[in-house]
Structure 1
Amino acid sequence: MQIKDFKNIYFIGIGGIGMSAIARYFNSIEKNVFGYDRTSTMLTTELMNEGIRITFEEDLNSIPVGFRNKENTLVVYTPAISMNHEQLSYFRKNGFHIMKRSQVLGLLSDNLNGIGIAGTHGKTTVSTITAHIFKSSKLGCSAFLGGISQNYNSNLLLSKNSPWVILEADEFDRSFLQLHPQIALVTSMDADHLDIYGDKFELEKSFREFVNQIKENGILVHKRGLNLQAKGVKTYSYALEEKADFYAENLKLVEGFYEFDLVYPQGIIKSLRFSYPGKINVENSIAACSVALLCGVSENEIRKALAEFKGVRRRFDYQIKEENIIFIDDYAHHPKELRESISSVRAIYPLKKITGIFQPHLYTRTRDFANEFADSLNLLDEVILLDIYPARELPLEGIDSSIILKNITVPAQLCTKQKLLDLIQESELEVVLTLGAGDIDKLVEPIKMMLTEKK
């Protein structure tokens, strides 16, 4: 059977950002969509408001009767789900058709002109900027994104006519090896997911496998300095201000946003204004523009799209922007992402005190990068460290947030989520930055309300 032949699609981990985009796709083509997730979030609420049914109970009684017919039900799961999950075990034992999220994404995109955007960080923002540029141009596109585009309030974009599809190519669990794009873009290959790969060498090896799956006569674009080659494809590089095939000149900060000239192989686009803050996001926009220009998007279309880009939820996401209090929420959860996010905030607010609230993500990542996390957090004026968010992991003996704290040299303290609002209430704050990929997002609205009341 092919995917189109299934009437029912059951998602295990439907609230995941990548899973939810595929669930939205199947809902849009009028499949019966049902899913499980561990907890209710803003995203699961949005899915339910769109007519998708969701259970937060793992027991088998929560599976609707109609989805227990293995002949017309496809089960899609995320690798973040434990193999011992009660529902997944049930579907396995009873011979259901079961696919990983990445396999489904590969099948859905295989007959289109896929643009696979990969990297240990930056891929969500680059994917979303690229999708916005294409969607705003005569080319159009569909897109499966790893973040919620603020322009479209969704992580799924659909086009009936465009052959282009933007795909966030996730390296976790080697998921991106299910994709065979026409164009691949790689932003970074820093050590991460060492619980999966073991070491950086194995991670880089996986990225090389990914770019060698580019279709014949395709295109590879990568950040300058990455050691990547692919056979039978054209290769281009991009950078922020270093000389590359695509890079910025005359970069300047004007009223909190950057303006620059974009140099590319055919010429220069003068005086672009990117309406999304942060120097790292200028680099991300150059990556997106490189793909767009190579595919035939015009200079004027790029100029208009960059000026109108509204950003990505939880990526340098302003919650409050007032004279006496600034609050920014960011998904940064890797030491390099923290460094880039904090540095971008510092560039915009050089004279203000910046307080970072960081929730480490995963015991293994905290163990592997404790010193690097501390180095990045030392760029703040003060640090509040929350407990580690475990996600899919069980606790590791001796591993908690204190192993980061001991190497932080600026004023810092540990705090539980339960006591955080009380601490904020007592603190003198100017710029507040929430950082992390766990459930810190659930604290954003309460923090916003408290800071608004304190103004």
Structure 2
Amino acid sequence: MFAKIRYFHFIGIGGIGMSGLAKILLEWGYELSGSDLQPNEQTIALEKMGAKIFYSHQAENIGEKTDVIIYSSAINHSNPEYKAAIERKIPRVKRSLLLGLMCQNWKKTLAVSGTHGKTTTSAMLVHIFKSAGKNPGFFLGGVIQPENTNASTGDDNILVIEADEYDHSFLDIRPHFAIVNNIELDHTDIYYDCESLYKSFVEFLQTIPFYGAAILNLDDAGCRKIIPRLSVPILTFGQDQQAMYHLKQFELNSEGAKALLCLPDGVETSLQLQVPGMHNLMNATAAFALAHHLGLPENSISSALSGFTSVNRRFQKVADINGIIFIDDYAHHPTELSATLNAARAHYPHRRIIAVFQPHTYTRTRDFFTDFARAITKADLVFILDIYPAREKAIENVSAKLIADAARYYAKIPVYEVHSKETLPQLLYEKLQSGDLAIFIGAGDVSQLCKNTLDYYGKI
């Protein structure tokens, strides 16, 4: 596909997005190497597939065979490997641009965009098509089961991908169909207001061809804002009765979530999900709408969705120890945090909910700390960890204490600030009791802290 290019080097290969691209290139027969600071599930999987992984960033990692360097928004141009590539005049390609080029290998690209729900909705689409006997390629922001991977080539007919608005990355993609779950301000280091965000989504969706479609959530204020600006074919979904695919008579309970879904022709079909929460009913409706529009029968889609069991780190039950259920969840925006805790309350109505929350990035904490505080008080007991900085430098007077103090103001529940990750397992052991639900929430390394806590329980 890339002419004489045979050897790629990825800077920061352990990320979920970078590792997915690397896996597909390896499946296509390319050679590659990559670097990251420490091993994780993705780097280990890539090594098993034949990639050479370096666990440091240094110029020497770039071998003589390297034809092109792949990097993401997380990589600073002062990175020694990036600087070495400049000195050696090796082409440097951003991750999103490579993804956009790779999409051309499939006949139809189905993109899932929006501030929340991209990974789950994408995974639902993959599950629907696989259940119908198709073999879609996919490139996701999470690991799906039973495939136990975040990316696979499939055949050359359909590709399901996530289209991320961060750093305008989705503008490098030209999808045939695109779902927009919602549009809400999140990355304030990139988008200075809602209008700049809306413009970016419009630019992305306007690339859809006349034979494709944009599938938008009619319940979402952001989606409603941009619909009049679009000149591409549009499908709508939501609870709004004006939506082409609309939900009614929904119920959230300990079994999951269920609803009646009305189709454009007036036919009603039942949705029964194992995954909890209203947000997952909306994700399922979006996936249903696109799959149905592409010709899959409603009974086939409904049946597939009833067997869907989520994605790693999306309300993932990881253990049940001493009568305590442990959940691992990726929520890192106030809306997501609220949806996760609402789902927990509906799915486990008789359990005390203990939230272990790790704020993600300083800018997000600075701009949304009051919203985080209101959301976290849906739990009964809260542990707030220090901010996971990700790509950012510290901002003066911005810390997790902002959220903790606001949470104490909004609700009279115990809120503990945890400044040492090493002490967390023992703190939880002292506070948790049989019948509790402990949810580890965040996009940083809180998942590893969940594992550390389970290890601690195993040693007691």
Task: Give the number of equivalent residue pairs.
Answer: 447
Cα deviation, residue 256, structure 1: 2.3
* Runs of 4+ deviating beyond 4 Å: 240-243, 451-454
CA contact (8 A) 2:61 2:81 kept: no
1:422 paired residue among 423, 426, 432:
426
Structure 2: which amino acid aligns with 1:319? Answer: V
Cα deviation, residue 35, structure 1: 0.5
Alignment of 1:50 with 2:45, yes or no, is: no
Cα deviation, residue 50, structure 1: 2.5
CA root-mean-square deviation: 1.9
Alignment of 1:97 with 2:91, yes or no, is: yes
How far apart, CA to CA, are the structure 2 residues paired with 1:242 and 1:417? 47
CA contact (8 A) 1:261 1:268 kept: no
Task: State the SS of the aligned residue for 1:259.
Answer: strand
**Correspondence for 1:133:** 128
Q: 1:368 to 1:202 in 2, by over 3 A?
A: same
How far apart, CA to CA, are the structure 1 residues paired with 2:239 and 2:327? 23
Cα deviation, residue 311, structure 1: 1.2
Q: 1:241 to 1:426 in 2, by over 3 A?
A: farther
Alignment of 1:123 with 2:118, yes or no, is: yes
1:221 paired residue among 215, 222, 239:
215
Please give the TM-score of this superposition, normalised by the length of structure 2: 0.92
Cα deviation, residue 384, structure 1: 0.3
**Correspondence for 1:299:** 298
CA contact (8 A) 1:151 1:310 kept: no
Cα deviation, residue 248, structure 1: 2.2
Cα deviation, residue 138, structure 1: 4.3
How far apart, CA to CA, are the structure 2 residues paired with 1:381 and 1:252? 23
Structure 2: which amino acid aligns with 1:318? Answer: K
CA contact (8 A) 1:141 1:158 kept: yes
Please give the TM-score of this superposition, normalised by the length of structure 1: 0.93
Aligned 1:1-16 pairs, distance under 5 A: 3-16=2-15
CA contact (8 A) 2:108 2:158 kept: yes
Structure 1: which amino acid aligns with 2:353? Answer: I
**Correspondence for 2:29:** 30
Q: 1:282 to 1:452 in 2, by over 3 A?
A: farther
Unaligned ranges ≥5, structure 1: 68-72
**Correspondence for 1:70:** none
Bigger Cα displacement from structure 2, 427-436 vs 46-55: 46-55
CA contact (8 A) 1:142 1:166 kept: yes
CA contact (8 A) 2:252 2:276 kept: no
**Correspondence for 1:157:** 152
Unaligned ranges ≥5, structure 2: none
Cα deviation, residue 49, structure 1: 2.4
How far apart, CA to CA, are the structure 2 residues paired with 1:304 and 1:262? 13
Alignment of 1:109 with 2:103, yes or no, is: yes
Alignment of 1:287 with 2:279, yes or no, is: no
CA contact (8 A) 2:254 2:349 kept: no
Q: 1:323 to 1:243 in 2, by over 3 A?
A: farther
Cα deviation, residue 110, structure 1: 2.9
CA contact (8 A) 1:359 1:388 kept: yes
Bigger Cα displacement from structure 2, 368-377 vs 300-309: 300-309
Cα deviation, residue 453, structure 1: 6.7
Deviations 1:266-309 (A, max 9, x none): 24353332222233111111111111001011123212311222
Task: State the SS of the aligned residue for 1:407.
Answer: helix
How far apart, CA to CA, are the structure 2 residues paired with 1:140 and 1:46? 21
How far apart, CA to CA, are the structure 1 residues paired with 2:111 and 2:36? 27
Task: State the SS of the aligned residue for 2:260.
Answer: strand
**Correspondence for 1:233:** 232
**Correspondence for 2:142:** 147
CA contact (8 A) 1:330 1:433 kept: yes
CA contact (8 A) 2:186 2:364 kept: yes
How far apart, CA to CA, are the structure 2 residues paired with 1:291 and 1:185? 8
Quick one: percent identity of the two aligned structures? 34
How far apart, CA to CA, are the structure 1 residues paired with 2:104 and 2:198? 24
**Correspondence for 1:211:** 205
CA contact (8 A) 1:359 1:386 kept: yes
Task: State the SS of the aligned residue for 1:400.
Answer: coil
CA contact (8 A) 1:75 1:98 kept: yes
Bigger Cα displacement from structure 2, 229-238 vs 208-217: 229-238
**Correspondence for 1:412:** 415
Alignment of 1:194 with 2:198, yes or no, is: no
How far apart, CA to CA, are the structure 2 residues paired with 1:199 and 1:254? 37
**Correspondence for 2:76:** 82
